[in-house]
Amino acid sequence: MSSKAPIGVFDSGVGGLTVVKEIMHQIPGETIIYFGDTARLPYGSKSKETVTTYTRQIVRFLMAKDVKAIVIACNTASAFALETVKAEFDVPIIGVVKPGAAVAADTTKNGMIGVIGTEGTIRSGIYNEFLSLTNPQVKVYGKACPLFVPLVEEGLIDDPITMEMARRYIGELIEYDIDTLVLGCTHYPLLRKTIRKIVGDQIALVNPAYETAKSLKQVLVEHALENDEVLKSDHKFFVSDGAEKFKRFANSILPCEVVETKDVNIENY
């Protein structure tokens, strides 16, 4: 595998772009192939079996594009399917949960950590698992926020309805005296300003994207796959539905221009 090969990144929709942004910032020499499974979103309310089937198809699609490594930029798919696809495919694959849990364990001072995520991620108990391994003393309070993903996908980021939902979802976590809140869904960093207004300045917000990009860099170095030449960026974007809408959104958050987004029939993979 050539170090010039691209990196595959995927999510159920636009959320994984928060991870892409961080990868572009930390390792600008790398080329990204992104897939957003917009036709089958949300993943958060689906079963482990369904999300694993979707994840396998996307990994096959990305491998057909000759990627040198894959980032599952989706907490739900990382929670449900990372270990399965790591065992099945011969390419380095990383998720976002382990890096996010590591930062949260380092950040908390009082050992009280809140985690917000999709129903699937919270139900899986995966943050709890990783956090307790790092520090058995921590107490983890999870809260599923199922309406956040559709609100982001609809572009209602600064809308009063989003503020009201954030108040309902996060209000009860604040009661537990948490000092750290993990944004355990890659869509949520896009709601950071709203969430900050609800939690105030005393609670640290953890976005796993930063640590994920750092882990990716480390994995590339370990496999001698780091691209040391800065190439002319040739990032490519694919979705399973709504290519134009996705392109507009991507252009509003990424530091590069997204010229084209293509539709893919992912069920063929």
Write phi, then psi, for 93 (nearest 5 degrees): -130, 130
Q: Which two tokens stand for residue 135?
A: 């520090």
Q: Which is nearer to ligand DGL, 185 or 191 (CB)?
A: 185
Cβ 228 to ligand DGL shortest distance, Å: 31
Cβ 188 to ligand DGL shortest distance, Å: 8
- Which sign, positive or negative, has the C-alpha torsion 24, 36, 116, 97? negative
Cβ 177 to ligand DGL shortest distance, Å: 26
Judged by CB under 6 A, the chain residues 28 through 87 that form the site for ligand DGL are 41-44, 74-76
Write phi, then psi, for 139 (nearest 5 degrees): -110, 130
Q: Which is nearer to ligand DGL, 76 or 194 (CB)?
A: 76
For 248, other C-beta atoms within 10 Å of its C-beta total 12
Q: Which residue is nearest to ligand DGL (CB)?
A: 44
Q: Determine the residue type at 165.
A: M
Interaction pattern, residues 131-170, with ligand DGL; x per rule: CB under 6 A: ------------------x---------------------
Cβ 185 to ligand DGL shortest distance, Å: 4
Which H helix or E strand runs over 238? strand 236-239
Judged by CB under 6 A, the chain residues 113 through 132 that form the site for ligand DGL are 118, 121
DSSP secondary structure string for all residues of 106-162: HH-SSSEEEEEE-HHHHHHTHHHHHHHHH-TT-EEEEEE-TTHHHHHHTT-TT-HHH
Q: Could you tell me where the beta strands, DSSP code E, fall in the chain? A: 7-11, 32-36, 69-72, 93-94, 112-117, 139-144, 180-183, 204-206, 236-239, 261-263
Cβ 80 to ligand DGL shortest distance, Å: 10
Residues identified as active-site: 74, 185
Q: Which of 195, 261, 218 is nearest to 23 (CA)?
A: 218
Judged by CB under 6 A, the chain residues 3 through 22 that form the site for ligand DGL are 11-12, 15
Task: State yes or no: residue 186 binds ligand DGL (CB under 6 A).
Answer: yes
Q: Which of 21, 98, 143, 187 binds ligand DGL (CB under 6 A)?
A: 187
Q: Which is nearer to ligand DGL, 124 or 227 (CB)?
A: 124
Residues in contact with ligand DGL by the rule CB under 6 A: 11-12, 15, 41-44, 74-76, 118, 121, 149, 185-187
